[in-house]
Structure 1
Amino acid sequence: MIQIAPGPVSGRLRAPASKSHAQRVLIAASLAEGTSRILNPGSSADVRACLSVIQALGAQVEDRGQELLIRGGGQPASDLLDCGESGFCLRSTSAVAALFDRRLTLAGHGSLATRPVDMVVDALRQFGVLVETRGGCPPVTIQGPLRGGRAVVDGSSSSQFLSGLLLALPRAQGDSELEVQNLRSGPYVQMTLDVLKAFGLQAEATADLSRFRIPGRQAYRAATVDVEGDWSGAAFLLVAGAIAGDVTVEGLLAHSAQADRAILAALEAAGAVPVWEQGAVRVRRTDLRAFDFDATDCPDLFPPLAALACHCEGTTRILGVDRLKHKESDRAAALCKELGALGAAVEVQGNLMLVTGGPLRGATVDSHNDHRIAMAAAVAALRSQFGVAIEGEGCVAKSYPEFFEDLATLQGHS
């Protein structure tokens, strides 16, 4: 358990590395002939899980701390691919595993073991790949090879498997066409296309990302890639600045394809004034007002937005609750329960979350083993009466292992 005392925050920090960008780059490097250099990969649990999987798929990895050397193009060294608790790793490397004429099993732990993988099964079977699951959930056993062809992909619950197909299909023996229905989180698909380009690959896409044509028999070229700063993790720091002080976050790309860059628009809607200063984003405390925001394409922003809304005058409306059911927790229910324990008025009406601002007391809360719930509670409590005690705080290792250390630095406790 960790205690977060109320009080002001001030300082300048570097954003954690984006696990979304890092995992895509690691998978691409594992498919490339030659040695790729990956700079600033970060140390999140999801990145470590992805490294484990690409090594099981035959990549050779040399860890130099802030730099990884990855030699790809190998053959699987194990029949078991342990994806830890990373949903992106499991869904995306399912497609990569299908490239091999070998029976491979992808396993997950924690809540990932109960998260549905229907989108993986349906699409791979259209390509003629044999797929087995345990009642529609992991483990997922796959027998390739993935030869190319045509498939219709359901993007309504997640775009992660689509990204996996886009990473795998250039290595298939034949050309491929994808039709995507009800795509969510389109910006992350654009990130995948950007990674393909960085490794020398071609994939044609319509402007709305509903159709793709991917030539087969392409070769990944080894590349040097600097992993972006993570807008998802930085969102909590920026919200902390808006609620309780003056925070500057460096290492973020202004024109990033990361969907969570939309935190800037949400902060502006709430009356905060994010300012770019010498390549970094600065947000200072101000009077905050309720706002309306559509988080359908950036559901990971729900926790920091809910924490922000607790300190806004009026009732904030956040759209996209149906994206939250199958996260590390039932995230909407967890936010209602734990922010409610702090004294916030949070409720769900259909696809809307309503948060009415007002004074917070403080409490002991459960992280639900969900990194974003733990971080949201910590940030929301910065202007509470008594602060917060968070149980299961170690879950932040999934995406932002240094979060509580960084927050302590902002509070002047380092």
Structure 2
Amino acid sequence: MKAVTIKPWKLKGVVNLPPSKSISHRAIISASLSEGTSVIDNLILSKDMEATISAMRLMGSNIEIIKKGENDRIKLVIGGGYIKRGITHIDCIESGSTLRFLIPVSLLDKGQVTFHGRGKLVTRPLDSYYEIFHKTGIKYSLMDGGLPLTIDGQLESGTYELDGNISSQFVSGLMFSLPLLSGDSKIIIRGDLESKGYVDLTLDVLKGFGIRIANNGYKEFTIEGNQKYKPSNMEIEGDYSQAAFWLAAGVLGEGVESQGIREKTSQGDRAIVNIIEEMGGKLHVDGDSIKASPSSLNSIKVDVSQCPDLVPIIAVLGTFCEGVLEIGNGSRVRIKESDRLKAISTELNKLGADITETEDGLIVKGVKSLRGGEVDSWNDHRIVMALAIAATRASGEVTIRDSEAITKSYPGFWEDFKMLGGIADEWQLG
């Protein structure tokens, strides 16, 4: 197990953002389902990307990885169009997107498939799919209530109902597969759909590959059958989920400019721009970059139902604001890579923060400073990165245990952190 020790030092400079992990998953899957060759540019081989690439190869896609020699960026040349019969085992590592997107994709063809995972992914809920399996006669079995999950059957066109307050990944998973079936289908949302931005991302990527899905006010999605994915070339835009950490570092430090971002985007985590500005943070958008300048922050109330991945870094911003920041509608944050409400509040409180958990959120009282100490990542990449930004404003050294969790989404995080002036020493525990 690795740890990293961070010495307090405010960050300053320019960072080239990593590509959107959410768009990357969707592009790789769509290209693999296309009948022809696609080129997907500007990716990073994080653990989550490795999981999806490996899975699509097992399903019959020919994926060539071309290293570009700069910032660990790669290009994929993908020849797809065929779902392989007889696949037996797919290792999703710790990627919830890989698992939930590919369960319906694997059901495009008959045959038994077993999905494996590690860490918290083993027990992350899949009840929405189990409900579908029961109704459609798809056989499935679990190991002690979690992964490995073995399924045996074939997806059919029809009407599928999903709760709006569950992960949008179930909605997206069906959207990848239903257009390829022989009949028309509908996805009906019970209640209000949360994380609409992630569904928008799926619809945008699918449109780029020739797939048509009608969005009827996020209450119902109608899908024509017998569609075909068309090959496409795509360059992945910068990730607002990761930009959030550097924007926070800029307003809490000495100014950080994040490059490679698109102002007009379907990424739901673009909400971080509005949140920081509402808190009084100084942001300047210029083309494909956002400059965050040192700022005094005010307290606000934040509804995170549409941007749950932002909770850890919002908690850090609240720790250094004037007054009390409230985070609400975040109950789903408890079933991410960790219980992020408990994880971020527990670890920041170890450093002197004043955070109280509620059933679906956090109450964060601003403090003047944090102290040094030892904290744990909970094997969660977003907890690692949030604690790293908080550590830049501590009065002493902060050690983060299990720091390699960042390889799940952002393997170059520590290099970028140091490039901005951060002082971080990685070492091996034991």
TM-score (norm 1): 0.97
C-alpha displacement of 1:244? 1.0
2:239 is the counterpart of 1:239: no
Aligned residue identity for 1:155: G
Aligned residue identity for 2:116: A
Q: How does 1:399-410 map to 2 (within 5 A)?
A: 399-410=409-420
Q: In structure 2, what is the Cα distance between the partners aligned to 1:86 and 1:73?
A: 23
Higher relative contact order, chain-length normalized (CA < 8 Å, sep 6+): 2
Q: How does 1:38-53 map to 2 (within 5 A)?
A: 38-53=40-55
The 8 Å contact of residues 127 and 149 in structure 1, kept in 2 or not, is answered as: no
Q: In structure 1, what is the Cα distance between the partners aligned to 2:268 and 2:299?
A: 22
- Out of 346, 367, 375, the residue aligned to residue 355 of structure 2 is 346
Q: In structure 1, what is the Cα distance between the partners aligned to 2:91 and 2:422?
A: 39
Q: In structure 1, what is the Cα distance between the partners aligned to 2:150 and 2:164?
A: 21
The 8 Å contact of residues 127 and 150 in structure 1, kept in 2 or not, is answered as: no
The 8 Å contact of residues 127 and 151 in structure 1, kept in 2 or not, is answered as: no
Identify the residue that residue 372 of structure 2 maps to in structure 1: 362
Q: In structure 2, what is the Cα distance between the partners aligned to 1:155 and 1:123?
A: 15
After superposition, the C-alpha distances for 1:257-301 in whole angstroms (9 at most, x for unaligned) are: 111100001101211021112420000111112121111111100
Q: How does 1:120-131 map to 2 (within 5 A)?
A: 120-131=129-140
- Out of 382, 386, 392, the residue aligned to residue 392 of structure 2 is 382
- Out of 10, 17, 37, the residue aligned to residue 15 of structure 1 is 17
Q: How does 1:79-118 map to 2 (within 5 A)?
A: 79-118=88-127
Unaligned runs of 5+ in 1: none
Aligned residue identity for 1:175: D
2:392 partner SS: helix
The 8 Å contact of residues 37 and 232 in structure 2, kept in 1 or not, is answered as: yes
2:202 is the counterpart of 1:192: yes
The 8 Å contact of residues 37 and 79 in structure 2, kept in 1 or not, is answered as: yes
Q: In structure 2, what is the Cα distance between the partners aligned to 1:180 and 1:130?
A: 24
Q: In structure 1, what is the Cα distance between the partners aligned to 2:284 and 2:78?
A: 37
Aligned residue identity for 1:264: V
Aligned residues: 413
Q: In structure 2, what is the Cα distance between the partners aligned to 1:368 and 1:350?
A: 20
Identify the residue that residue 333 of structure 1 maps to in structure 2: 342
After superposition, the C-alpha distances for 1:57-111 in whole angstroms (9 at most, x for unaligned) are: 1111100022101111223263111111001110110010110111111111111
Q: How does 1:60-209 map to 2 (within 5 A)?
A: 60-65=62-67, 66-76=74-84, 78-134=87-143, 136-182=145-191, 183-207=193-217, 209=218
Q: In structure 2, what is the Cα distance between the partners aligned to 1:80 and 1:237?
A: 38
Aligned CA-pair RMSD: 1.5
Q: In structure 1, what is the Cα distance between the partners aligned to 2:282 and 2:29?
A: 37
The 8 Å contact of residues 87 and 111 in structure 2, kept in 1 or not, is answered as: no
C-alpha displacement of 1:132? 2.9
Q: In structure 2, what is the Cα distance between the partners aligned to 1:184 and 1:136?
A: 26
Q: In structure 1, what is the Cα distance between the partners aligned to 2:253 and 2:225?
A: 52
Identify the residue that residue 427 of structure 2 maps to in structure 1: none
1:131 partner SS: strand
Aligned residue identity for 1:400: Y
Q: In structure 1, what is the Cα distance between the partners aligned to 2:61 and 2:183?
A: 24
Identify the residue that residue 278 of structure 2 maps to in structure 1: 269
Name the CA shift for 1:170/1:124 in 2 (closer, same or farther; >3 Å): farther
1:32 partner SS: coil
The 8 Å contact of residues 374 and 400 in structure 2, kept in 1 or not, is answered as: yes
Aligned residue identity for 2:376: D
Q: In structure 2, what is the Cα distance between the partners aligned to 1:127 and 1:249?
A: 47
Q: In structure 1, what is the Cα distance between the partners aligned to 2:129 and 2:261?
A: 32
After superposition, the C-alpha distances for 1:311-368 in whole angstroms (9 at most, x for unaligned) are: 1111100112311111111111111110001110011123231111111112111101
Identify the residue that residue 30 of structure 1 maps to in structure 2: 32
C-alpha displacement of 1:146? 1.5
1:27 partner SS: helix
Q: In structure 2, what is the Cα distance between the partners aligned to 1:350 and 1:82?
A: 33
The 8 Å contact of residues 125 and 131 in structure 1, kept in 2 or not, is answered as: no
C-alpha displacement of 1:18? 1.1
Aligned residue identity for 1:74: Y
Unaligned runs of 5+ in 2: 68-73, 425-430
Aligned residue identity for 1:161: F
1:28 partner SS: helix
Q: In structure 2, what is the Cα distance between the partners aligned to 1:135 and 1:178?
A: 30
The percent identity for this pair of structures is: 38
